[in-house]
Structure 1
Amino acid sequence: MTDRPDASTPARLTPGLPGRLVLSRMGTRAAMIAERFWPLVLPLVLVAGLFVSLSWFGLVASLSDWPRVAVMSAFALAALVALWPLRFFRLPSTAEVDRRIEAANGLAHSPLRTLTDRPSGTQTAFSEALWREHQKRMAGRLGNLDAALPVSRVPDRDPWGLRAVVALLLFVSYAFSLGPMGGSLSDGFRPTAVREALAARIDAWVTPPAYTGKAPMFLNADANRAVSLFTVPAGSTVSLRVTGGSGSETLSFIPADGKETPIEPASPAAGDGNGNVGPAADGVRQFAGTLGQDGELVLRSGRSEVARWTFAVTPDTPPTIRFAGEPKRAANGTLELQYEIEDDYGAASAAVEFRQAAPPAAGARPLYDEPEMALNLPRRGSKANAAKTSKNLTEHVWAGLPVTLTLAATDDAGQTGRSETVTMTMPERTFTNPLALAVIEQRRLLGLDANAKQRVLDLMDAVTLRPEDTFDSPTAYLGLMSARSRLRLASGDDQLRDVVSYLWHVALGIENGSLSDAEQRLRQAQQALQDALQNGASDEEISRLMQELRQAMNDFLREFAQRNQNQNNARAPQNGQELRQSDLDRMMDQIENLARSGNSEQAQELLSQLQEMMNNLQMAQPGQQGQGQQGDEFSQQMNKLGEIMRRQQEMMNETFRMDQMQRGDNGRMGDDQQEGLDGNQNQRGQSGQQGQGGMTPEELADALRQLQEGQDQLQKDLQQLGKDLEGMGMQPNEGLGQADKSMGQAGESLGEGEGDRAVGHQGRALEALRQGARDMMQQLQAMQGEDGQQGQGRRQQSADRDPLGRPRGTQGPDFGNSVKVPDEIDVQRAREILDAIRKRLGEAMSPEVERSYLERLLELK
């Protein structure tokens, strides 16, 4: 027989057979290809699986460049060797496929081959018919023809089952690669520097300027990862640190105009000498820059962008300063200024710029520059922007001359704002002695023009020509002659300035003797204490300066009293408020306590008020008469109202301490606060006992009950006062009614043991009492017809106040409006905040950035 394929033969023999035969052959062919190809490609698969497992385990990433190249070369060679068996691969032929189908289906006598074969030799009709009959019978046996399945011979080639080990490693390494220490397939193809750059740690933060008081902002913190825009103050410092990496990281700032500006690293990268940048010498690269405008900060590693942050910079506006009132001269000649300062974060300094209203004479050689006067600043962080400063400039040679004043405030960013310019006559000391006036005039001539030396000598000769008619004492004559001798021998400006200073002391000695020395010591002590408060002096320095201030004030008050006694003017009005030593001592104790507790701003404010009181005291005229019987009766009632206000204030402080003890604070107070309260202990009446540490619950309950009784008694006294005022023809006002209601609510809260609510009601009662007192004063002015004499009343305002600047007894008590002394609650809260900050600073685990921020809070002025 001959093999003569005839595709139409199966179709003629059995319908549907060709389709089944094609499918069977295709499946069998694929199976044969697979079973021939798989054993040949298995070595390559094992090599690839081993490489992938090592990469996922991170072993390749841990190698340096040369070992990594060696390992990759070994795997490449192994892969080439594993490809060598593939040269023996052959595709199966059609006959091989048919024999595989026949063997798979158990067909004997080669039926598939019979369908395509033809008999050899010469064919007759009978032989042809016989052959077709044979083919038909063979085709009938192919009715259920199936494709052969692949049979792998891998176990013959891998009897130890090493392929299973590689598969297990591949599975485990894949799970390991999902962790933080896992590697990737690309580790073997990247240099070590690139791999380190991608795994570098980045820390970025923004530090606002210290004067803003704002905390640093961490850009890559978890809470800020979703923030698309960071708002920071102008002048903030952005810091970025890259730990590890390749050293090719660059940081640049892209402002709103799009012009990119690179930020140079603080530590240079190490190179190989050929211009190739390598890792930083210490493995850390730091960048720092200042943000002055809106823009974006971009971190790149090579050409790839690693991170980007967008900033909106809040500009720091210049401070504004303006006069809150006309500059005025105090009773003792001190210049007093009231002004308002506004700035984003508080001004750093403020001063007065003086200029002479009239230009100096041509060719004049002044010995002194313009006066210097630093201004007190409002407390940073407070809503109040008003401040007040007073300074004695009467000793300056410009005193008595027309000058222009301009207030200038400077913030921490160096920006300066100026106020409008005001023209006034510079305050000067009032001299009543004609000889003292002549000495002051000569002193001014010499201080304004050193060329007037000879003229001043001539004037001195004229004054001393007839000493028996001009001088009342030999001391004054000898002092002026000594000044003349110094002036005649002076050769330089420094010696002339010494003469000018000496003439001032001569004039003071002529005017009022040693009292000026005591006043000068008092002013020097006040100025020294104010400088110490501004510079943050230690507690020991504050205590020493307070002792000097107390001594200087005692000496001044002693000499002031002696002078008034000599002038037969020591008698005060019968109903006026008296200047008591205990008042001044209590005020100075408050100043020292505030300074020790760190509240230097309030201490400076209180010291300024003390200076104002002393200014008013020096020129006080205590010999004024009362305003009649009706005024005396009204004064008595208003003094009672002032006593009720004082008792309410003390009761509120006591309630606050009791509430702190009830909350577990045991009523602990600093010795300074306690000492300041002991002076009023004998005046508390029914306001309750002073809290002591270690009280039992029963003692606390008894103390609260006493406070309730005292509050009820205070309410009754207020009601009786209202009735007495109505009997005098005064109309009840809303303030006293609200105070009565709040007192009742405070008593109920004390009865229920709710100290916190009671303090709130007592505070509202105290404010209502002050409002009621102001309303009563307005009613009195209306009854006395003062509306038509308003202008005259303003001119006599200083005469209606006592030596401390408070309203006189004839006009009612001080309602707490003119002098604001921090009460015990404010001091206690300030101390608690400071203790919490110091406690946090003492923790060893506090971050360095947080410690720096807390230290700035303690130093904030």
Structure 2
Amino acid sequence: MMRKTRDRSDRAAGAMSPALVRTLALTRAGLAAERGARAFWPVLSVAGAIFTAGAFRLPAVLPDWALMPAGYASVAALVAGLGYGIWKFRFPSRAEAVARLDASLPGRPLAAMADRMALGSSDPAVAALWLRHVERMRAEAEAARPVAPSPDLAPRDPYALRLSALTAVAMAVLFGAPWAGVGMLRHGPAGPAEAAMAPAWEGWAAPPRYTGKPGLYLNTVAGEELRVPKGTRFSFRLYGSAGSVSFNESVSNPAEAPEADTAGSSGVTARDFVALRDGEIRIGGHGGRVFRVALLPDAAPEVALVGRAERRADGKFVQSFRAGDDYGVVSGKARIALDLSHVDRRYGLAIAPEPHPDLVYDLALPITASRASFTGKLNEDAAKSALANLPVTVTLQVEDGLGQTGSSAPEAMVLPGRRFFDPRAAALIEARRDLMWNRANAPRTAEVLRAISNRPDDIFPDAQTGAAIRAVALRLEKGEIADKTRDDLAEILWRMAVLLEDGGRSDALAKMQQAQQKLSEAMRNGASADEIRKLMQDLKSATDDYLRMLASQDPDQDPRFGANQPEQRITGDQIQQMMDAIQKLMEDGRMAEAQQLLDQLSRMMQNMKVTQGQGGSDNSPGGQSMRDLQETLRNQQQLSDDAFQDMQEGPSGGAGAQPGSPGTGTPEAGRPDSGSPELGGSLADRQRGLRQDLDRQRALMPHLGGDAGAEAQRRLDDAGRAMDEAGRALDQGDTGSAIDRQAEAIGALRDGMKSMREALSAGRPDSAAQDDPSDDSADPRQGAAAGGQGATGRDPLGRQAGEGAQPGTDRNMLPGEDVYSRARDLLDELRRRSAERQRPQEELDYLGRLLDRF
């Protein structure tokens, strides 16, 4: 049978092309590699384990009596593994290679090529068919590719010992010393005679962690120059007997003894030290090196205050700062000390103060971002400190990883703290300040408290407050005051002052927030209309109480603190409009929109100022220019409406009037003139008057810089040209063209005002700033507010401004109506009118333009 198989294989091989022969040879080689892996993986795994042990110098840590048994065991394991491999390995024959290749092909074409016809060989047709079959099999065989070996070692190595050995070899190559493995396996640690076969030393340099620089393996460093940060830790290991490898260094502190300088039983000498100065490291013996160490400079960190301190409404202060270091800041502190030379030494501050410890706060450092250069904020509450609202000096100090420090220049300021505007609360806080300043002020403070508490029913909301003040005065009059007693009395005065200052504000705010929460819960749970109305009324009542509290207790902001914070103003009318809109949405069943508007109202009630009516004014040049342009825009819109009405009235007026004639577009004809008094006369005269007003306003307009200013000027030029063309069209009786030009003028005016608002927001105009540098109106934020809304807080179309004084509006443009249905009604009306072909052609063209736009 074997002979028959071999004969068929030989016949198939004889019919093979050279390419197929190469494919068969590669398949046979792969089959040999497969069998070799299955037979020799144990001996290879043992060899890998022995190599790893030598690379990691395991024999160096074994006792002498264990070295020889370990060596014999290693050799025995190698011999056993090799013998097992030789016993198992069988080199594959050609027939096996042909069978392997043929099994990978569909239809086994190699076997078919070796087959012979059993019957019909004398028939020419059958012979031709057989020849065609053999040729097709030969073509399929020519497309064969070598079969890759498949050792399939997992079933033969269930514990994956081969993979463990391979991993160990990889670790030994990357992190061990494989070049010394052979010598150590034979003799243990390398000696002087074997120095040519292995390195006599190894060294590492580990920079301080705060530098973020990687460690160095000194054996692979090229050249003698070595630049490392100060504080780098060097570690050297010298192999051989003590003194066989000389070592000298001059970079550490000579007063410090080396941590280890002895050769133990393993024959390894350790030298560890920290680089503190420039110097050299010399290693003698075979493979010796000289390293000239130069320490990289480590500059001291820097820190500086940025801008002015800001006072928050709750009395906390915020101070920005900037810090940096070449490697990174590791810590920082702020120190606030009393600036006695600038204290107004009057009243309770006339006597010398008691020693007050400086206020020390930790600086907030970035957690994930880089600390090499960053900007942070000191946000602390010093309202209850004895230094609050007194002149102080603020000094920041930062430290780097090397222990170097950097400090900012002392900054003089008044330490921001909570201010009290209620006269009663302010008097109690002043008495508390005097007591904290020096306990020698106790008699004077007691007299002040006695005066405050005289006839308490007239000034305090309840009798308990007056009684508490008199109790504090009585305790101050008893004599010696301990530190704890002083602090307790100061805390009592603080709490009473806060109670008087708030005057129930906290209760009013809590009541309003509770009403908002109830209303939100009712909307989520599908409350009835009566329940919604009652909760809405409760919310309005609570909001009114809170607004009255704010209006009576919210004074102007101190210009020294928080001057760069834009204030948000909201009127009682605006709040009422939002309330009405919320109620309307809820009645319509649009609960999601009502909840969104309620959340917006809640946000607007935070950090705001309340004014009566429209409130607010701006007398800056930018604000006046915006108001003038708004008036011109309204007049131009009214003039356009009048021109359109004239066009609808027919030949008796407007389009049919003689050029320059009064027509029906004059006030004398019965139509009220909504423009300025000086804009009377015909439509053309009124148009020319508006053009002259625009020129006058542009002459008085402050200089606008930047791209936005240039765009504003360009759009106002376009508006002027459109006005001129509209005036000429009105003179010629072409009302349709005049209306088109007026629409262009209105659009250009709107765009120009928008660009002007952006220019004013970007900065105060140069001309205004040069006119009066000391004028408070030179603040660019005031110019932005004026440019945005003017004195009335409304946009150029008279609509209420949106949140943050931005263009747009937060309120319903059609109060009491559904804006969507109203828009649909307007579009339907426009379509209906455009379908009436008996209307004048000018009107139909105008309606067509409206429909094309919307």
TM-score by length of 2: 0.40
Task: With a CA cutoff of 8 Å and minimum separation of 6, indicate the structure with the bigger relative contact order.
Answer: 1
